Amino acid sequence: MKRAATVADAVAMAEVHVASWRAAYKGILPDNLLDGLSIESRRQMWRSCMEEKKCRCFVWLIDGEVAAFAAIGPARDDDLRDSNALELYAIHFRPGWCGLGLGTIFWQEIEKEIEGNTVVLWVLEQNARARRFYGKNGFTLEEDKKKLFAWQGMGFPEVRYRKRVQRAVATSAGRQLFR
Ligand SMILES: CC(C)(COP(=O)(O)OP(=O)(O)OC[C@H]1O[C@@H](n2cnc3c(N)ncnc32)[C@H](O)[C@@H]1OP(=O)(O)O)[C@@H](O)C(=O)NCCC(=O)NCCS
């Protein structure tokens, strides 16, 4: 089941985040980058993001344990700065819970929170599973939006996807959630 995350979840989110990067990005990002990931720095990142209300986070619980998390906030790209667009900053399942269809269920629950809004996300070009997931869930690749995830002088291509989440009921969500 999904529920809103609180700062008390930050450590579990950080654990999921690091485990997910190590599993999903092996062979895409360098081993020494993945080996050097720090749960503590991710914990601080998610904690301050929530405390400062820069993002809204959600967790997916299985048997009471955090099996996944997602984070959403205002879109950060220059071309969207004056819009109401949102950005999916992260969505990660613990490696053992990937590929079971749970991501789609989690995302459908998150969509209920952001009905009527445009949402974008950046994904590593080589992250084929995630790209398939976004395509299946109605995101469209923006052909002209590419950037590099930079690390130690290297660059790893990322591509942007976009979706207008259908509105089931009237809502005034969007950036107002973060003001
Ligand atoms: C990306 C991610 C969130 C997607 O979640 P997921 O649960 O793996 O994705 P899906 O919901 O699409 O399910 C995947 C597979 O489960 C299969 N499946 C198995 N049982 C199923 C069921 N009962 N119902 C639906 N699908 C089921 C689907 O067929 C699907 O396979 P397909 O992609 O070949 O069609 C997850 O894989 C993940 O955390 N990956 C690592 C982190 C990552 O890359 N994050 C994105 C960063 S931008």
What integer pLDDT is reported at residue 173 of this predicted model? 58
Closest CA to ligand 1's atom 11: 101
| pLDDT block averages, 10 residues each, the chain of length 179 | 97 98 97 97 98 97 97 97 95 97 97 96 98 98 96 94 85 61
What integer pLDDT is reported at residue 88 of this predicted model? 98
What integer pLDDT is reported at residue 174 of this predicted model? 63
Spatial distance between the Cα atoms of 54 and 90, rounded to a whole number of angstroms: 13
Domain that holds residue 144: 2-178
Contacts of 55 (CB under 8 A, 6+ apart): 49, 71, 72, 73, 89, 178
What integer pLDDT is reported at residue 168 of this predicted model? 76
Domain count, the chain: 1
Residues within a 6 A CB radius of ligand 1: 20, 24, 91-93, 98-104, 123, 127, 129-130, 132-133, 136
Cβ neighbourhood burial of 163 (10 Å; 0-12, 13-18, 19+)? buried
Q: How far is the CA of 71 from the centre of ligand 1 (A)?
A: 17
CATH number for 15: 3.40.630.30
Closest CA to ligand 1's atom 29: 101
pTM, two decimal places = 0.92
